[in-house]
A and B are shown apart, each in its own frame.
Chain A
Amino acid sequence: MREEVQFFVSRSLQGIVVIWGIITAVFMFRFISPTNPARLIAPDDASEELVRAIEIDLGLNDPILIQYVSYLTGVVQGDLGFSYSTNTPVRGRIIQVLPATLELAFAALIFAVIVSIPLGIISATHRGTKIDSVANLTSLGGVSTPNFWLAIMLVLLISVQLGLLPTSGRPIGLGEGIRMLIFQANIGGLTTWLSHMILPTIALGTYFMALLFRLTRNGVLEELGKEYVLAARGKGLPNPLIMYRYVLRNSLTPVVTVTGLQLGGLIGGSVVVEAVFAWPGIGRLFITSLNLSDWPMMQGVLIIVGVGYVVTNIFVDYINSSLNPQVELA
């Protein structure tokens, strides 16, 4: 227990340094970007004086250090600033769209893990067979296909040609769907939610699934060759037990690590997938803001995603060290 507290304290301190770096980097982005926010906010026909006045109002003429400190204190207090384009708080807007992206990212993650790990195990234990070859080729395709194109192909095939699932949009969130089920005993909300989730989930999760498949297969193959697996067979343990207690334990370490690292990748990937499916998430928000040079909004998104990544990684390291006692905590 003491070890664990120590681990989390020391990792959190490191994490705070990185998060500070993230905020600083994000601040620098806006600072060196060529756009003048005052011009964005001001009407097109605004006079120079008005623009000047807005600049002063935004504090753009203050020394950079003062701007930096005030931005940093703002962020630490949870204030991500106001959008240049809508003049509403950035935080509120992000909180509004975050669930859509998180739902999609988690669904893709679950899809990837559920498919890839059993497939990786089967492929490794049936090495050299047809199943193995097919799975390997599929995973090669999976890591080589850009997700936006896969998304379009899915739409083309399943929505346009077969007419099975809706092409785009997210008419209802998971929370709303559950609420409908509980309070109105109406399952329609959930089925609508599900039908809109399927294609984006596959499009976003496939690359990740193929990656995890490769890692699982290689890990299991490596472990199967270990002498302790032979010894476990020698003491008469049944195969499923050997797989679960001896093989998976070590071979899942890289899988867990990459899963953690790839959560960020999934959010990144969702930028494009959201664009294909008109998914009202953080990725679309980012693209819209980029096109409008709405830096506070982009900064907010980057900070949220970056902090999420840092926190996830601390947990990933913790899970790995508890899977493998040889890796000391701290």
Chain B
Amino acid sequence: MISKRTRTAVLKELHSNKLATVGTALILCMLFVGMFAPVLAPHDPTQQDNSQTHQPPAFMGGETETTRLVDGEMQTVTEDNSGSLTHPLGTDTNGRDVLSRAIYGARTSLLVALTAMMASLILGTSVGMTAGYFGGKTDTILMRFVDVVLAFPALLITLAMIGVIGPLTFFIPDPFVTSGLITDRPTHMVFPVTITAAIAAVIWVWIARVARSEAIRVKNEEYVTAARTMGRSNFGIIRKHVLPNSITPILVLATIQVASIIIIESSLSFLGFAGTNLSWGYDIAQGRDYLGTSWWLSTIPGLFIVIAVVGINLFGDLLRDALDPGIDRGEV
């Protein structure tokens, strides 16, 4: 599917553009972290430890005054609050390791983003190709439907879809734990079906729009006319000619949209619709109550989101510059 020319163009751009290299590295990093989360995480992200709450990150030092329950009484105590390497990025209010949670959060984000992207890619390409290739009434009806979905802000309609679908989660056994390679880690990955489906149900319209305009462009090319006069079926023409010649911009858009999906996903988990508590947005929401004392609780998962999204955006810019698919940053 990826032609040699495409590959050369991407590699050339990668060579001449330092930021693009950074972006690609960030994406690879994130994929790696997400995939090998059980191996990389220093602790079980769900393990609570009441003796180790609100530990600051390792680079922090010093003492702080905190008010907490001591021997059944609220007391202000001065305690040694310097970070330790056991919990490099500190612990949360239940004593869970922030770094491990962030690593597992990457996994959730990736799971949601990639699944939602694939689903919307398939749906959007099918609808867009059909509308663009056949034109006429089919086009009008399908595109009016797309217009309707586009009329709602992505986040709002995703939330409405969550209301429609209801809470659904799916447990996937973690291959590292079930195979016995790693112990002391959660045995299952939580796959938040609801938000994935809700996001895919919204994102696909953007793909559909690009797929449609590409299909219209390609179907007027002479080789398509030639194929038609030779009596190829419409489906055959779409599969053999239209799809391969219009896939580049669609894939570029899909890449850029992964960034939007990650942001929507974290927003939804922030609002409490995640379906899992191993999510960056969820941790940010939890840390909000301790902004004055434990600033790192909200800050660190957020930084992970920013780094991931920066990586995808840089990579998307790279693809766009290298392949010049002529799509604007329409955005959701």
Using a CB–CB cutoff of 8 Å, the interface residues on chain A facing chain B are: 17-18, 21-22, 25, 29, 32-35, 140-141, 143-149, 152-153, 155-156, 160, 211, 214-215, 254, 258, 261-262, 264-269, 271-272, 275-276, 283, 286-287, 290, 293, 295, 298, 301-302, 305-306, 309-310
**Contact yes or no, B302 A21, CB < 8 A:** no
Q: Is the CB of A265 within 8 A of B332?
A: yes
Given contacts A149-B298, A155-B291, 12 further A-B contacts (CB under 8 A): A21-B147, A21-B148, A22-B148, A144-B259, A148-B270, A211-B329, A268-B153, A269-B153, A275-B270, A290-B159, A302-B156, A302-B160
Q: Write the nearest CB–CB distance from A28 to chain B, whole angstroms.
A: 8
The 6 A-B pairs of least Cβ separation, nearest first, read A268-B153, A149-B302, A21-B148, A144-B309, A268-B155, A306-B151
Least CB separation from B140: chain A residue: A17
- A283 proximity list for chain B (CB < 8 A): 156
Residue of B nearest to A267 (CB): B153
Q: Name 27 A/B residue pairs within 8 A (Cβ), A-sorted.
A: A22-B151, A29-B163, A35-B163, A140-B313, A144-B306, A145-B302, A146-B266, A149-B306, A153-B302, A156-B298, A211-B329, A214-B329, A215-B329, A258-B329, A258-B330, A261-B331, A264-B152, A268-B153, A269-B155, A271-B267, A271-B271, A275-B270, A286-B156, A287-B271, A290-B159, A290-B163, A302-B157
**Shortest CB distance A253–B (Å):** 11
| Cβ contact of A32, chosen from B164, B298, B310, cutoff 8 A | B164
Q: CA separation between A96 and B11, bound complex, in Å?
A: 55
Q: Is A287 touching B291 in the complex (CB atoms < 8 A)?
A: no
Check A148/B284 contact, CB under 8 A, given A21-B144, A34-B166, A155-B291.
yes
- Alpha-carbon distance A70/B152, docked complex (angstroms): 23
In the bound complex, what is the Cα–Cα distance between A73 and B19 (angstroms)?
Answer: 55
Query: Are A18's CB and B331's CB within 8 A?
Result: no
Q: What residues on A are CB-neighbors of B156 within 8 Å? A: 267-268, 271, 283, 286, 301-302, 305
Whether B291 pairs with A156 at a CB distance below 8 angstroms is yes
Distance from A203 Cβ to chain B, minimum over Cβ atoms (Å): 12
Residues of B within 8 A of A (CB): 144-145, 147-157, 159-160, 162-164, 166, 259, 263, 266-267, 270-271, 281, 284, 288, 291-292, 295, 298-299, 302, 305-306, 309-310, 313-314, 328-332
In the bound complex, CA of A17 to CA of B148 (Å): 9
Shortest CB–CB separation between residue B298 and chain A, in angstroms? 5
Judge whether A272 and B267 touch: CB under 8 Å: yes
Measured CA separation A167–B67 after assembly (Å): 22
Question: Please, how many angstroms separate the alpha-carbon atoms of A21 and B144 in the complex?
Answer: 8
Q: Which residues of A contact B163 (CB under 8 A)?
A: 29, 33, 35, 290, 293, 295, 298
A150's nearest neighbour on chain B, judged by CB, is B302
A160 to B284, CA, bound (A): 16
Q: Which residues of B contact A310 (CB under 8 A)?
A: 151
- Contact with B331, one of A147, A258, A305 (Cβ below 8 angstroms): A258
- Report if A302-B313 is in contact (Cβ < 8 Å); known contacts: A145-B306, A160-B292: no
Question: Using Cβ atoms and an 8 Å threshold, which residues of chain B touch A144?
Answer: 259, 306, 309-310, 313
Instruction: Point out the residues of chain A lying under 8 angstroms from B306, CB to CB.
Output: 141, 144-146, 149
Shortest distance in angstroms between A225's beta carbon and chain B's nearest beta carbon? Answer: 16
B159, A286: Cβ atoms closer than 8 Å? yes
Q: Which residue of B lies closest to A155 (CB)?
A: B291
Q: With A29-B163, A290-B159, A302-B152 as known contacts, state yes or no: A152 contacts B331, CB within 8 Å.
A: no
Closest to A306 in B: B151
Q: Which B residue's beta carbon lies closest to that of A264? A: B153
- Measured CB to CB, the closest approach of chain A to B141, in angstroms, equals 10
A152 in complex: contacting residue of B150, B263, B284, CB < 8 Å: B284
Q: Are A261 and B330 in contact (CB under 8 A)?
A: yes
Could you tell me if B291 and A146 are in contact, using CB atoms closer than 8 angstroms?
Answer: no
Q: Contact: A211 with B331, CB < 8 Å?
A: yes
In the complex, residue of chain B having the shortest beta-carbon distance to the beta carbon of A19: B151
* Residue among A18, A25, A148, A295 with max Cβ neighbours from chain B (10 Å): A148
- A156 near B160 with CB under 8 A, answer no
Q: Which of A22, A141, A215, A275 contacts B271 (CB 8 A)?
A: A275
* Residue of chain B at shortest CB distance from A23: B148
Residues of A within 8 A of B309 (CB): 143-146
Contact between A160 and B302 (Cβ–Cβ < 8 Å)? no
How far does the alpha carbon of A287 sit from the alpha carbon of B156 in the complex, in Å?
Answer: 9
B147 with A141: CB separation less than 8 A: no
A293–B159 Cα distance when bound, in Å, is: 11
Chain B positions within 8 Å of A271 at CB level: 153, 155-156, 159, 267, 271
A60–B142 Cα distance when bound, in Å, is 30
Bound form: Cα–Cα A272–B157 in Å: 13
* A276 CB, min distance to chain B CBs, angstroms: 8
B317: nearest chain-A partner, CB-CB: A140
A214 to B295 CA separation, bound complex (whole angstroms): 32
A290:B331 contact, CB within 8 angstroms: no
Contact A25 B331 (CB under 8 A): no
Residues of B within 8 A of A18 (CB): 144, 147-148, 151
Expressed in whole angstroms, the Cα–Cα distance for A275 and B166 within the complex equals 21
Q: B255 to chain A: closest CB distance in Å?
A: 14
**Residues of B contacting A145 in the complex (Cβ-Cβ under 8 angstroms):** 302, 305-306, 309
A12 CB → nearest B CB, Å: 14
Report yes or no: B159 in contact with A262, Cβ–Cβ below 8 A. no
Say yes or no: A152 contacts B291, CB within 8 Å: yes
A184 CB to closest chain B CB, in angstroms? 36
Query: Known: A140-B314, A211-B331. Is A305-B153 also a contact (CB below 8 A)?
Result: yes
Query: Chain B residue with minimal CB distance to A25?
Result: B148
Least CB separation from A272: chain B residue: B267
Give every chain B residue within 8 A of A152 (Cβ-Cβ): 284, 288, 291, 298, 302
Q: Which residue of B lies closest to A271 (CB)?
A: B155
Q: How far is the CA of A156 from the CA of B291 in the complex (A)?
A: 6
B328 — nearest CB in chain A belongs to which residue?
Answer: A254
Q: Which residues of A contact B144 (CB under 8 A)?
A: 17-18, 21
Closest to B155 in A: A268
